């Protein structure tokens, strides 16, 4: 899955011959899973039609401060709010960017909707220059690039090749594929968890009684999967060790290892822990397993059946004993004396953070799509959060870890 998946991209199209390539660009971005809206200058419309770009982006195309009505329409013109458009965007890409627009951007001119969006944008701005070779090497253009880059804008270098004038040199807009791969590489290189290795456990474990029965619990794995996806989305290399669940991962950057029993989870976790920077054990591990697993299906011969259980290995506690520089996170699911119990677990298992959920809280715990957590750090400081979707809870946990590990 591309890092552009789910991103809101505002594409600014200005009036150069390369504007026809904006159609390919929109298509590629949409294929990568991005939501694309287009804002174009009026001269760009000479080269590519708004209808083409709106059809490909599946969104309205914006060009002027007020919506243009056709001659037969008696509607009041609608105001196109440049601030809303700019704030909607996770990134603003201007491609092609003509010398004229770039110079206006560098000098704060604001005589069209695209420039108003640029001045209102808080997101990263990328621009792909497109102009003839003499214009590209002109000292004024060089000064414009320097000024724009000093503001934090990101230049996607123009390519060498034959230009519309017939001359050969630098100035041709980078090809749409190159622009998309430039964006992906640039975003990936700036992700906050780039280079960090995360080990995450999720789901229940099943402890076999006989070949057809097991002891398990109601954990769906949703919390652990959401944490894995969030960490991977922020650039971490993630190994997810999952007990039996019906869930599917959305992010192909997560390496998944399926296990069934606590023993298998223990072995897998130990295989990866040494190489990890952060370990988050969100699995609802079985605390006891049958002392003996019957080799054949147990027949119902008696009215009573007693199963002898044996404690499983505590995976989290074993990591707490051996950890070196790893940031170790455990979960505590409690029904009474929640904070006190969680703080005891934090200390006893030598954790850096414990995520407390109380089964007494509505919207928390197993199977739900929401959770209500309290984070308790090594300093014993408690941070309570309201009920939120598990994906947002995952963000809160990861943000806390980023804060603590960069401190
Ligand atoms: N855990 C583990 N291995 C086990 C049992 C639990 O790694 N055999 C981990 C869980 O993944 C969780 C944390 O320990 O991160 C706390 O689990 P919990 O069941 O709340 O606590 P326990 O330590 O098992 O204590 P108790 O069940 O007595 O509350």
Distance from Cα 391 to the centre of ligand 1, integer Å: 22
Taking alpha carbons only, the member of 351, 349, 367, 350 closest to residue 359 is 367
- Which residues make Cβ contacts (< 8 Å) with residue 290, sequence separation at least 6? 207, 208, 209, 215, 307, 308, 309, 310
Distance from Cα 359 to the centre of ligand 1, integer Å: 15
100 is catalytic: no
Q: Residue 72 has what pLDDT?
A: 63
Domains and their CATH numbers in the chain: 8-189 (3.40.50.1950), 197-295+306-405 (3.40.50.10300)
Q: Residue 70 has what pLDDT?
A: 59
Structural contact between residues 349 and 341, judged by C-beta atoms closer than 8 angstroms: no
> Ligand 1, atom 17: nearest CA belongs to which residue?
332
Out of 285, 309, 349, 355, give the residue to mutate to test ligand 1, the one with the largest number of ligand atoms within 8 Å of its CB. Answer: 285
Structural contact between residues 238 and 254, judged by C-beta atoms closer than 8 angstroms: yes
**Greatest Cα-to-Cα distance within the chain, rounded to the nearest angstrom:** 94
Dist. CA 56–CA 9, nearest whole Å? 14
- Which residues make Cβ contacts (< 8 Å) with residue 297, sequence separation at least 6? 210, 211, 212, 213
Catalytic entry in 217, 251, 267, 341: 217
Q: Residue 69 has what pLDDT?
A: 60
Bridge partners of residue 13, in order along the sequence? 40
Structural contact between residues 39 and 66, judged by C-beta atoms closer than 8 angstroms: no
Structure tokens at 389: 């979707």
Start-end of H helices in 190-288: 222-233, 262-273
Dist. CA 266–CA 275, nearest whole Å? 15
**How far lies 266's CA from each of 37, 219, 309, 310, in Å?**
48, 18, 18, 16
10 Å Cβ neighbour count for 310?
10
Which atom from ligand 1 is nearest to the alpha carbon of 317?
A: 7
Q: Residue 57 has what pLDDT?
A: 98
> Ligand 1, atom 3: nearest CA belongs to which residue?
314
User: Does 333 contact ligand 1 (Cβ within 6 A)?
Assistant: yes
H/E run at residue 13: strand 8-13
- Which residues make Cβ contacts (< 8 Å) with residue 11, sequence separation at least 6? 22, 25, 26, 29, 36, 37, 38, 39, 57, 93, 94, 95
User: Does 250 contact ligand 1 (Cβ within 6 A)?
Assistant: no
Structural contact between residues 203 and 243, judged by C-beta atoms closer than 8 angstroms: yes
> Ligand 1, atom 4: nearest CA belongs to which residue?
314
Dist. CA 226–CA 271, nearest whole Å? 23
Out of 284, 287, 311, give the residue to mutate to test ligand 1, the one with the largest number of ligand atoms within 8 Å of its CB. Answer: 287
Distance from Cα 332 to the centre of ligand 1, integer Å: 7
Percentages helix, strand, coil for the chain, rounded to the nearest 5? 35, 25, 40
Which atom from ligand 1 is nearest to the alpha carbon of 283?
A: 11
pLDDT by residue, tens only, the chain of 407 residues: 889 999 999 999 999 999 999 999 999 999 999 999 999 999 999 999 999 999 999 999 999 988 766 566 666 777 888 889 999 999 999 999 999 999 999 999 999 999 999 999 999 999 999 999 999 999 999 999 999 999 999 999 999 988 888 889 999 999 999 999 999 999 999 999 999 999 999 999 999 999 999 999 999 999 999 999 999 999 999 999 999 999 999 877 899 999 999 999 999 999 999 999 999 999 999 999 999 999 999 999 999 999 999 999 999 999 999 999 999 999 999 888 999 999 999 999 999 999 999 777 777 767 688 899 999 999 999 999 999 999 999 999 999 999 999 85
> Ligand 1, atom 8: nearest CA belongs to which residue?
314
Residue range 13-70, pLDDT digits in tens? 999 999 999 999 999 999 999 999 999 999 999 999 999 999 999 999 999 988 766 5
Distance from Cα 314 to the centre of ligand 1, integer Å: 7
> Ligand 1, atom 23: nearest CA belongs to which residue?
345
Structure tokens at 240: 């997810």
For 67-103, letters b (16+ CB in 10 Å) and e give eeeeeeeeeeeeebbbeebbebbebbbbbbbbbbbbb
10 Å Cβ neighbour count for 144?
19
Structural contact between residues 86 and 10, judged by C-beta atoms closer than 8 angstroms: yes
Distance from Cα 291 to the centre of ligand 1, integer Å: 19
Distance from Cα 266 to the centre of ligand 1, integer Å: 12
Q: Residue 360 has what pLDDT?
A: 75
User: Does 285 contact ligand 1 (Cβ within 6 A)?
Assistant: yes
Out of 206, 345, 353, 374, give the residue to mutate to test ligand 1, the one with the largest number of ligand atoms within 8 Å of its CB. Answer: 345
Out of 218, 241, 263, 331, give the residue to mutate to test ligand 1, the one with the largest number of ligand atoms within 8 Å of its CB. Answer: 331
Structural contact between residues 277 and 198, judged by C-beta atoms closer than 8 angstroms: yes
> Ligand 1, atom 18: nearest CA belongs to which residue?
332
Structural contact between residues 181 and 149, judged by C-beta atoms closer than 8 angstroms: no
Angle of helix 390-405 versus helix 222-233 axis, rounded to 10: 50
Distance from Cα 191 to the centre of ligand 1, integer Å: 32
Dist. CA 18–CA 6, nearest whole Å? 26
Residue range 368-387, pLDDT digits in tens? 888 999 999 999 999 999 99
């Amino acid at each position: 899955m591309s890092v552009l998946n789910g991103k809101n991209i505002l594409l600014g199209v200005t009036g150069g011959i390369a504007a026809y390539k904006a159609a390919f660009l929109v298509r590629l971005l949409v294929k990568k899973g991005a939501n694309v809206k287009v804002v174009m200058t009026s001269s760009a419309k000479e080269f590519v039609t708004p209808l083409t770009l709106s059809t490909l982006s599946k969104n309205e195309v914006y060009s002027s401060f007020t919506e243009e009505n056709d001659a037969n329409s008696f509607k009041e013109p609608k105001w196109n709010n440049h601030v809303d458009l700019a704030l909607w965007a996770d990134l603003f890409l201007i491609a092609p960017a003509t010398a004229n627009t770039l110079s206006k951007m560098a000098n704060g001119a604001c005589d069209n909707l695209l420039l108003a969006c640029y001045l209102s944008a808080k997101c990263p701005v990328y621009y792909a220059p497109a102009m003839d070779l003499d214009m590209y090497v002109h000292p004024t253009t060089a000064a414009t690039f320097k000024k724009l880059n000093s503001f934090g804008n990101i230049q996607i270098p123009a390519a060498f090749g034959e230009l519309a004038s017939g001359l050969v040199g630098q100035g041709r807009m980078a090809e749409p594929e190159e622009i998309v791969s430039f964006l992906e590489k640039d975003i990936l290189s700036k992700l906050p968890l780039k280079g960090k290795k995360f080990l995450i456990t999720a789901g229940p474990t099943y402890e076999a009684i006989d070949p057809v029965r097991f002891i398990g619990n109601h954990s769906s794995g949703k919390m652990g999967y959401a944490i894995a996806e969030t960490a991977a989305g922020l650039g971490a290399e993630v190994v997810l060790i999952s007990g039996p669940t019906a869930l599917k991962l959305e992010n192909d950057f997560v390496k998944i290892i399926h296990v069934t029993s606590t023993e298998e989870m223990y072995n897998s976790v130990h295989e990866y822990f040494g190489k990890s920077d952060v370990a988050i054990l969100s699995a609802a591990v079985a605390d006891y397993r049958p002392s003996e697993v019957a080799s054949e299906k147990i027949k119902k011969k008696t009215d009573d059946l007693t199963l002898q259980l044996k404690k499983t290995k505590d995976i989290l506690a074993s990591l707490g004993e051996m950890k070196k520089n790893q940031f170790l996170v455990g979960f505590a699911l409690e029904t009474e004396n929640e904070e006190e119990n969680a703080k005891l677990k934090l200390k006893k298992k030598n954790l850096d953070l414990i995520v407390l959920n109380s089964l007494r809280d509505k919207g928390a715990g197993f199977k739900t799509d929401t959770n209500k957590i309290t984070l308790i750090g090594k300093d014993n400081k408690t941070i309570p959060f309201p009920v939120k979707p598990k994906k947002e809870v995952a963000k809160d946990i990861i943000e806390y870890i980023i804060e603590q590990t960069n401190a």
